[in-house]
């Protein structure tokens, strides 16, 4: 549990009720593909710390699945709505934590990170995170801009992608609602994880 020991404050009071609002930022398209919408994150209401916490909880939950263990994880970040308020939330400390999780702390292989609708305000944040990333992660980051339908289909099957992103799968609203419901029904799994992590902590 290296990631637990490294980021212990993230795991305090970590129940699904504590992350109810931030959970609308993130959902699962299928078990090994995560979708994150920056536009659903209101930086006045939720800190980057809270959003990072729900990301870790989601990763923990899907890491229990055999399919995810075999295929690794791919992430699509829609940065539509990213603002200066978001950028100011991501300080060097948060940047290092994100980089460490992506690099070697969490037991999931990151197979691809795909950014769409990335605005000008995002570039300074990415420049802060990038130096901490290993080369293998840097090579798996793809920036698609605002004209992303065709390029996303080069990496994802159309039957997985939502119609909003050029695919034929379930819509984003439906997928996010399904995942939110699943997350809230998983309190038992998180309780067992908390007990295991507490037993292994110093």
Q: Could you read off the pLDDT of 94-143 as tens digits, one per residue? A: 777 777 766 655 667 888 999 999 988 788 888 888 888 888 889 999 99
Interval 174-194 mean pLDDT: 69
For residue range 58-92, what is the model confidence (pLDDT) as tens digits?
777 777 777 777 888 889 999 998 888 888 888 77
Tell me: pLDDT of 19 over 60.
Answer: no
CATH number at residue 184: 3.40.525.10
Percentage, residues of the chain above pLDDT 70: 73
Is pTM beyond 0.85 here? no
How many domains, the chain? 1
| Counts for the chain of helices (H) and strands (E), in that order | 10, 5
H-type alpha helices, the chain: 2-6, 48-62, 66-71, 84-89, 92-100, 122-129, 135-138, 149-152, 172-184, 187-200
> What gap in Å lies between CA 191 and CA 202, rounded to an integer?
19
Structural domain for 9, as ranges: 2-200
Region 25-50: what's the mean pLDDT? 77
């Amino acid at each position: 549990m290296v990631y637990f020991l490294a980021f212990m404050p993230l795991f305090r009071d970590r129940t699904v009720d504590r992350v109810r609002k931030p959970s609308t930022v993130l959902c699962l398209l299928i078990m090994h593909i995560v979708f994150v919408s920056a536009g659903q994150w209101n930086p006045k209401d939720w800190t980057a710390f809270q959003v990072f916490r729900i990301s870790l909880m989601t990763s923990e939950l899907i890491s229990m699945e055999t399919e995810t263990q075999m295929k690794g994880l791919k992430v699509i970040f829609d940065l539509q709505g990213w603002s200066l308020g978001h950028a100011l939330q991501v300080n060097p400390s948060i940047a290092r934590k994100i980089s460490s999780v992506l690099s070697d702390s969490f037991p999931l292989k990151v197979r691809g990170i795909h950014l769409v609708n990335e605005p000008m305000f995002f570039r300074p944040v990415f420049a802060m995170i990038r130096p901490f990333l290993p080369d293998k992660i840097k090579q798996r980051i793809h920036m698609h801009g605002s004209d992303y339908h065709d390029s996303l289909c080069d990496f994802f099957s159309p039957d997985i992608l939502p119609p909003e992103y050029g695919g034929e799968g379930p819509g984003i609203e439906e997928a996010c609602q399904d995942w939110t419901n699943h997350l809230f029904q998983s309190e038992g799994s998180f309780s067992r994880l908390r007990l295991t992590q507490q037993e292994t902590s110093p």
